């Protein structure tokens, strides 16, 4: 019946139309949290199977939603962080070498900066991911911290 509705206006085959209808209506309700490792494994598994489904149906399949976008953003930020730190620490080191004309002070400052970054990331992981002092900071259940905040568009 669905084929009769779309057949006169469409160049899709029956299999492609079925894939389109399924793609429009398939939604997955997560039993684990959005930032759970199980959820990330599920998204990665679906993405790994997508080329086979695309070849079988002849259609383009995409995985999207807040969870998939958060995984992508976390991956991009994780890949960019070492380059960012290298540029910031390198430029600060060069600038401090030029200003102080010494090696000890700039190297000490660069190491202290890297130490402060490590401590701040460690504190975030301890409070939000491990749940330590969660009652003090009122963070609720321990979960993987988000690397990006989503703001609804108004």
Instruction: Kindly report the pTM of this predicted structure.
Output: 0.63
- Where in the sequence is the domain holding 34, given as residue range(s)? 2-57
Nearest to 116 by CA among 89, 146, 79, 144: 89
Is the residue at 148 inside a domain?
no
Cα–Cα distance measured from residue 150 to residue 21, given in angstroms and rounded to the nearest whole number: 29
**Domain count of the fold of the chain:** 2
Which residue intervals of 26-140 are DSSP H helices? Answer: 37-57, 66-100, 104-124, 134-137
The answer to whether residue 145 is domain-embedded is no
> What is the percent of the chain with per-residue pLDDT over 70, rounded to a whole number?
72
- Helix 66-100 vs helix 104-124: crossing angle, to nearest 10: 160
Instruction: Confirm whether 152 is domain-assigned.
Output: no
User: Is 85 a member of any domain?
Assistant: yes
Question: Has residue 66 been placed in a domain?
Answer: no
Q: What is the pLDDT of residues 6-27, one digit of tens each?
A: 444 456 666 665 566 555 555 5
């Amino acid at each position: 019946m669905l084929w009769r509705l779309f057949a006169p206006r469409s160049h899709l085959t029956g299999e492609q139309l079925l894939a389109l209808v399924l793609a429009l209506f398939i939604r997955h309700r997560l039993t684990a949290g959005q930032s759970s490792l199980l959820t990330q494994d599920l998204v990665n598994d679906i993405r790994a199977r997508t080329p086979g489904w695309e070849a079988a149906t002849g259609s383009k399949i995409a995985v999207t939603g807040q969870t998939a976008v958060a995984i992508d953003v976390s991956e991009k930020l994780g890949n960019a962080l070492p380059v960012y730190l290298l540029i910031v620490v390198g430029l600060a080191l060069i600038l401090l070498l030029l200003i102080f004309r010494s090696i000890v002070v700039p190297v000490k400052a660069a190491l202290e900066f890297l130490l402060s970054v490590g401590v701040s990331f460690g504190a975030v992981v301890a409070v939000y991911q491990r749940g330590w002092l969660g009652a003090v900071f009122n963070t609720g259940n321990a979960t993987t911290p988000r690397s990006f905040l989503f703001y609804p568009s108004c």
